[in-house]
Amino acid sequence: MVNVIGLGYIGLPTALMMAAHGVKVIGTDYNKELVSTLNAGRTTFKEEGLDELFEKAVELGITFSTEYQITDTYIVSVPTPYDEESKKIDAKYVESAVSTILEICPKGAVIVIESTVSPGTLDKYVRPLMIRKGFIIGQDIHLVHAPERIIPGNMVYELLNNNRTIGADDKEIGERIKKLYASFCNGDIVVTDIRTAEMTKVVENTFRDINIAYANELAKICRSDNMDVYEIIRIANKHPRVNILQPGPGVGGHCISVDPWFLVGDYPGLANIILAARKINDSMPEFVLERIYEIMKEKHMTDIGRVGFYGLTYKEDVDDMRESPTLQMLESMEKHLCGNLVKIYDPFITNDVVPNQLHNLDEFLNSVDLVVLMVGHSEIRQNMDKLEGKIVLDTRNICDMEGVYRL
């Protein structure tokens, strides 16, 4: 039996996927409300294919609890934030999960850490916990790192098909855990050591952050000299070895905007491109605000209350708002005392989280003159005609209406 600890954006789909493929799984989370929602037969966030997977997993016997279970395999999938000041990982959730497991686990149990961690975290924070409690690692307890790689918006497909990395001290244990993941994963599963697995995961997300930063920097350069960045990227990408990503209003989500900081925090002075990329991506919400003020001036608009932000989530067709560029813009506007004036709408956010949030697309559009497209949800892509007659700032390059403003 596998006890999955942490039933968030990664832990829940992973637990369901294993259960749907015949593994006996109990999912544990300290959040009572979340556990009772799952036990009442409802998923806790929206994701393509998740409800179907949930049904299958429940049919095959998955259960959810707030209690840790006595079993031989644990998968830990808890948040790993970074400390804003030191830029280093804050491993408190991993430490607390591992400590609780150590209270109850039988001799020889395997603890698999799925959460993304900075290189060296398991050595620095997890092993000492085990040693302090008198466990002999490799005998009484085994440690594995199996970082997740699934992308929100396509999680179910990617769980089934992505290649994976498993880091273990002991090859035999690594192979055992590989077998567990192979119960559902069709991709290649590479077994390596823990340190390499930790570093590889962070390096992957950093690669994407740097590439997005390049696109964002190009957007700024092209804007300064009145060139069309999208056309330039489109043509450049016809080169067989060029694949530039898309500029946008900033990098949100809890992965790409966080993980590169681990390298900056741990290798100050060495992580130079990485730091520059982070700064460029973090500057994008402010760049969008500047574009808004420029457009308002050009259109002789004086009432910020007639500006509307379409999209609160960090990217399209997900309901996750963590590190969302829209929230960052609102925060910055609050400092200038106008953050509570703009209208906001997002079809994926049904509860009120910010002032002036509307819950209907037509009502939202009727209440504004300038629409800032912050997120390219399918809803707006399918309703572009509703933007006719509006001034539009399209930060995602999804609207081909005449006269639309872009980054």
Active site residues: 201, 255
Residues within window 310-329 making contact with ligand SAJ, judged by CB under 6 A? 314-315
Asked if residue 177 lies in contact with residue 168, where contact means CB atoms within 8 angstroms, the answer is: yes
User: What 3 state SS string does 324-370 have?
Assistant: CHHHHHHHHHHHCCCCCCCEEECCCCCCCCCCCEECCHHHHHHCCCE
Among 58-66, 130-138, 244-252, 298-306, the segment contacting ligand SAJ (CB under 6 A) = 244-252
- Does 252 bind ligand SAJ (CB under 6 A)? Our answer is yes
| Angle at alpha carbon of residue 9, lines to 8 and 10, rounded to 5° | 95
C-beta of 336: minimal distance to ligand SAJ in Å?
Answer: 24
- Does 56 bind ligand SAJ (CB under 6 A)? Our answer is no
**Complex with ligand SAJ: residue 135 or 405, whichever CB lies closer:** 405
**Complex with ligand SAJ: residue 142 or 254, whichever CB lies closer:** 254
- Does 208 bind ligand SAJ (CB under 6 A)? Our answer is yes
- Does 255 bind ligand SAJ (CB under 6 A)? Our answer is yes
- Does 116 bind ligand SAJ (CB under 6 A)? Our answer is yes
Tokens of 272: 């130079």
C-beta of 83: minimal distance to ligand SAJ in Å?
Answer: 19
Q: How far apart are CA 117 and CA 90, in angstroms?
A: 9
Q: How many other CB atoms are there within 10 angstroms of residue 178's CB atom?
A: 18
Among 101-109, 242-250, 285-293, 378-386, the segment contacting ligand SAJ (CB under 6 A) = 242-250
Q: How many other CB atoms are there within 10 angstroms of residue 114's CB atom?
A: 21
Query: Where do we find the tokens 């092993």?
Result: 127
- Does 203 bind ligand SAJ (CB under 6 A)? Our answer is no
Give burial (CB, 10 Å; 0-12/13-18/19+) of 30: middle
C-beta of 287: minimal distance to ligand SAJ in Å?
Answer: 12
Chosen residue from 248, 260, 308, 347 binding ligand SAJ by CB under 6 A = 248
- Does 181 bind ligand SAJ (CB under 6 A)? Our answer is no
Among 143-151, 171-179, 268-276, 362-370, the segment contacting ligand SAJ (CB under 6 A) = 143-151
User: Computed over its alpha carbons, how large is the radius of gyration of the chain?
Assistant: 23
- Does 150 bind ligand SAJ (CB under 6 A)? Our answer is yes
Q: How far apart are CA 393 and CA 371, in angstroms?
A: 6
Among 58-66, 127-135, 202-210, 224-232, the segment contacting ligand SAJ (CB under 6 A) = 202-210
| Angle at alpha carbon of residue 2, lines to 202 and 10, rounded to 5° | 35
Tokens of 206: 């950093």
- Does 205 bind ligand SAJ (CB under 6 A)? Our answer is yes
What DSSP line would sit under 47-98, residue for residue?
Answer: -TTHHHHHHHHHHTT-EEESS----SEEEE-----B-TTT--B--HHHHHHH
C-beta of 316: minimal distance to ligand SAJ in Å?
Answer: 7
**Complex with ligand SAJ: residue 282 or 369, whichever CB lies closer:** 282
* Residue numbers at the binding site for ligand SAJ (CB under 6 A): 116, 148-152, 204-205, 208, 212, 245-246, 248, 251-253, 255-256, 314-315
